[in-house]
A and B are shown apart, each in its own frame.
Chain A
Amino acid sequence: MATIIGGLAASHVPAIGGAMAKGLQQDPYWAPFFDGFNAPCRWLEAAKPDAAVVIYNDHGLNFFLDKMPTFAVGAAPEYRNDDEGWGIPVSAPFPGDAKLSWHIIETLVGDEFDPVTCQEMLVDHAFSLPMQLFFRDRAHSIPTVPVVVNTVQHPLPSLRRCFKLGQAIGRAIESYPEDMKVVVIGTGGLSHQLEGERAGFINTAFDRRCMDAMTGDIDGILGIDPHELVELAGSQGVEVMNWVAMRGALLGDVHELHRNYHLPISNTASGIMLLENRPKLARAA
């Protein structure tokens, strides 16, 4: 059976791609962000996962408002990136694990989730940047399953719904009859807002609460409704929904191995986390 060995989370602002293209990883502005990936990268090199399920939101590369799924799952052998209109380089394609995708889709639908299934799907910077940041040289060789959550158009799914989606993804992976190790990645956030007179809004206290909740009081944040989440995290800070879905997929005992919190990168407070998912210890009879 497949096992989920851990969960990872990282911000995904396009400016990271610009910084990478210009080789600014050790620039004083960017180093505190990029250095935050050293520990998770070392862990991934040692743990050697066989596949990555990446939960993110599309920013108008693959999906437009004509057909906007609340949840979508990729089911393709390969995922391409493309021109997103804001000048960051187009990345090389990413391999997909279509067999694992279809197993997840079948399990989700059986579990009363009804995602859109995509045999062709462009993946944007919210997928490509975290893959490159976490996997470096292996970013384009590890098989992936992209999962897209709507953070663009209200009504948004609630945090509790995203958590339950994650739990269903976790059950799907753990019932997959291949002997393989899987990591689940949630991308986006943390607090930021691009538009309106409140542009530039950042809420460090809420960000820390969300990071603490990954191994602590997760239930304490699941009751926050989407409107309240906009108020607390900013219009685009709602992307923490993807973190919550990732956390839902970790069904074992979850331990924080690493965190990095730094701001600002572009207009965003950046959070990076590595969570280990250990098998639940059998309770004493």
Chain B
Amino acid sequence: MSQALAREPAPRAKREIFGTPIFGPESAQKGYALNKMCFSFNSAAARAEFIRDEAAYCARYGLTAAQTEAILKRDLLKLLDQGGNAYYLAKFAGILGLNMQDIGALQTGMSVEQFKAKLLAARDS
């Protein structure tokens, strides 16, 4: 009995993966308001309201100053750092009229053409 209930060894510390934020407990809490705002962008009325006054909309959802600034500056890496989740941030990107190659280019410091070339090059890997 005692053996069956023996504790599992503590999980090993997870090594970092370059350029890859893990959306887990820390980000889920830190980014809750930010992601909740992005979730609201499923509604066309909400998107229109956001566009009318972005800062006021951020305030209504209780975003921190850092999160609000990152939204206003379209700083995607900062938004990730502030707990943003890719699936929800994609709805924000939709408002900006950006597709996933635009988003990829912005985050990797490439031009959109360079980013597309990078995707194509993966064929030969």
Contact = CB atoms under 8 A, between A and B. Distances in A.
Contacts of A85: 41-42, 47, 90-91, 94-95
Interface string B103-122: 11001110000010011101
B91 A60 contact: yes
A65 interface: yes
B74 to A, nearest CB: 14
Interface residues of A, number: 42
A30 B45 CA distance: 32
A86 B20 CA distance: 23
A104 to B, nearest CB: 26
Interface in A47-93: 59-61, 64-66, 82-87
Contact of B22 (A59, A204, A230): A230
A220 interface: no
Nearest to A58: B87
Interface residues of B, number: 49
A139 interface: no
B85 A153 contact: yes
7 contacts: A64-B36, A86-B90, A194-B103, A227-B14, A230-B20, A231-B20, A235-B22
Interface in A259-285: 263-264, 266-267, 269
Interface of B: 14, 17-25, 28, 32, 35-36, 38-39, 41-44, 47, 76-77, 80, 85-91, 93-95, 99-101, 103-104, 107-109, 115, 118-120, 122-123, 125
A266 B91 contact: no
A84 B42 contact: yes
A266 B112 CA distance: 12
A215 B42 CA distance: 39
Nearest to A63: B39
Interface in A217-239: 227, 230-231, 234-236
Interface stretch (A34-42, A159-167, A173-181, A195-203): A195-203
A154 B28 CA distance: 9
A15 interface: yes
Contacts of A194: 86, 90, 100, 103-104
Contacts of B14: 227
B49 to A, nearest CB: 13
Nearest to A88: B94
B87 A198 contact: no
